[in-house]
């Protein structure tokens, strides 16, 4: 699996007001040309639109491409709240039905990695969801199973990992949110669990392109993420990071990706990509070079505990 994967939330449109299908398809093709062989999507991205765009590309390429998707919670609540009954989120029939729909959208016989789009460790040892996953594996409809951990809750998967029922975890990890290093990553390495890193750019702030003057299109979800004085907060912190640029990383985007890839627990990083320019910039970092210990120690100082999703 390529260490840079294709995060495809943005190409689903809907919450991303400036998404363009023709541009998205070109970006997918370019990524595959440059060696990307892992695409992460979800049934809920554009109500299946992201999956259907990926299906078009899969039919047009000869390269082997591994696709991961996700089952949305039945109650459509993100993140999964503590105390929520499993029957409200991932009942047996919902898991099967959602997987069948994703298979249809993607135009494939087997999903390489099926994931739950939210998670609560209270469900780790419950049988209903596990029986559905086993059935899907036995029928050849999915190869592997993983979860997408709730935003900024890396600890909320450790019990599941210990059950041996999961193959991968997807988690937010970046220069600002370094919390997976505390507990999650050591357990993943101990149990040989694949780690998929999402949001390596903190929804764009770690690219350096979010300034106090930045304006997003009407209807774009980032207006909420960067509301009030949050753009100013981000900009002030990013200015300090820019002082670290040099031989090890020439741009903030490169620094952000190399930070993620420098941790031995990380299997792949899935930055959101909607344009060829994004693809080429991100893929250029996939050269095996990791940040020095000196740089990593410096970046430890930029850890920032907060949750802009709320």
Bridge partners, residue 147, by sequence: 116, 169
- Is 109 a domain residue? yes
Structural domain containing residue 53: 6-206+256-290
pLDDT of 220: 86
Share of the chain above pLDDT 90, in %: 92
Listed in sequence order, the residues at least 6 apart from 266 whose beta carbon sits closer than 8 Å to its beta carbon are 3, 173, 195, 197, 260
- Is 227 a domain residue? no
> What tokens were used for 268?
């792949």
- Is 307 a domain residue? no
pLDDT of 51: 97
Q: What is the pLDDT of the chain when averaged over all its residues? A: 95
Listed in sequence order, the residues at least 6 apart from 283 whose beta carbon sits closer than 8 Å to its beta carbon are 4, 31, 34, 35, 36
Q: Is the pLDDT of residue 154 over 80?
A: yes
* CB half-sphere exposure, 250, CA atoms < 13 A: 4
- DSSP string covering 187-220, please? HHHHHT-EEEEE-TTGGGGGGT---TT--PPTT-
pLDDT tier for residue 12 given thresholds of 50, 70 and 90: confident
- Is 53 a domain residue? yes
- Is 231 a domain residue? no
Share of the chain above pLDDT 70, in %: 98
- Which residue blocks in 66-148 are alpha helix, DSSP H? 92-106, 127-138
What's the rounded mean pLDDT across residues 175-188? 98
- Answer for the pair 7, 198: CB distance below 8 angstroms, yes or no: yes
- Answer for the pair 48, 41: CB distance below 8 angstroms, yes or no: no
Q: Is 273 helix (H, G, I), strand (E, B) or coil?
A: coil
pLDDT tier for residue 221 given thresholds of 50, 70 and 90: confident
Dist CA 134 CA 145 (whole Å): 9
What's the rounded mean pLDDT across residues 142-153? 97
* CB half-sphere exposure, 137, CA atoms < 13 A: 16
Q: Is the pLDDT of residue 176 over 90?
A: yes
> What tokens were used for 247?
């031989």
pLDDT of 14: 67
> DSSP secondary-structure letter at 224?
H
CB atoms within 10 A of CB 173: 26
What's the rounded mean pLDDT across residues 90-100? 98
Q: Is the pLDDT of residue 10 over 90?
A: no
- Is 305 a domain residue? no
Bridge partners, residue 272, by sequence: 7
Q: Is the pLDDT of residue 217 over 90?
A: no
Q: Is 172 helix (H, G, I), strand (E, B) or coil?
A: strand
The separation between the first and the last C-alpha atoms of the chain, rounded to the nearest angstrom, is 33
- Is 301 a domain residue? no
Residues 152-167 as b or e (16 or more Cβ within 10 Å = b):
bbbbbbbebbeeeebb
> What tokens were used for 107?
């135009």
- Answer for the pair 201, 271: CB distance below 8 angstroms, yes or no: yes
pLDDT tier for residue 234 given thresholds of 50, 70 and 90: very high
Structural domain total, the chain: 1
| Angle subtended by helix axes 252-261 and 230-242, to nearest 10 | 80
pLDDT of 16: 56
pLDDT of 18: 65
What's the rounded mean pLDDT across residues 277-304? 96
The domain that contains 279 carries what CATH number?
3.20.20.100
Dist CA 175 CA 194 (whole Å): 20
Q: Is the pLDDT of residue 127 over 80?
A: yes
What's the rounded mean pLDDT across residues 201-219? 93
- Is 213 a domain residue? no
């Amino acid at each position: 699996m390529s260490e840079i994967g294709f995060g495809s939330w943005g190409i689903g449109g809907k919450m991303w007001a400036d998404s363009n299908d023709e541009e998205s398809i070109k970006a997918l093709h370019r990524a595959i040309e440059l060696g990307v062989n892992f695409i992460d999507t979800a049934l809920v991205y554009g109500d299946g639109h992201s999956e259907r765009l990926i299906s078009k590309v899969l039919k047009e390429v000869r390269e082997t491409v591994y696709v991961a998707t996700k089952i949305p919670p039945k109650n459509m609540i993100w993140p999964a709240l503590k105390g929520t009954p499993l029957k409200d989120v991932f009942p047996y029939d919902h898991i099967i039905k959602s997987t069948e729909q994703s298979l249809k959208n993607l135009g494939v016989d087997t999903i390489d990695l099926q994931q739950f789009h939210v998670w609560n460790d209270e469900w780790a040892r419950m049988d209903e969801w596990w029986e559905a996953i086993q059935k899907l594996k036995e029928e050849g409809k999915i190869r592997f199973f993983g979860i997408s951990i709730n935003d900024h809750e890396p600890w909320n998967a450790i019990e599941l990992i210990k059950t041996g029922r999961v193959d991968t975890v997807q988690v937010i990890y970046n220069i600002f949110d370094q919390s997976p290093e505390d507990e999650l990553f050591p357990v993943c390495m101990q149990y040989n669990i694949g780690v998929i890193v999402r949001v390596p750019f903190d929804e764009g702030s770690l690219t350096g392109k979010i300034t106090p003057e930045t304006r997003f299109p009407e209807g774009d979800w980032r207006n909420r993420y960067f509301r009030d004085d949050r753009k100013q907060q981000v900009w002030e912190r990013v200015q300090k990071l820019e002082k670290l640029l040099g031989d090890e990383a020439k741009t903030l985007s490169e620094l952000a990706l190399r930070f993620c890839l420098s941790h031995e627990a990380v299997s792949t990083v899935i930055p959101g990509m909607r344009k060829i320019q994004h693809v080429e910039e991100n893929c250029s970092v996939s050269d095996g070079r990791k940040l020095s210990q000196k740089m990593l120690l410096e970046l430890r100082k930029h850890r920032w505990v907060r949750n802009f999703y709320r």
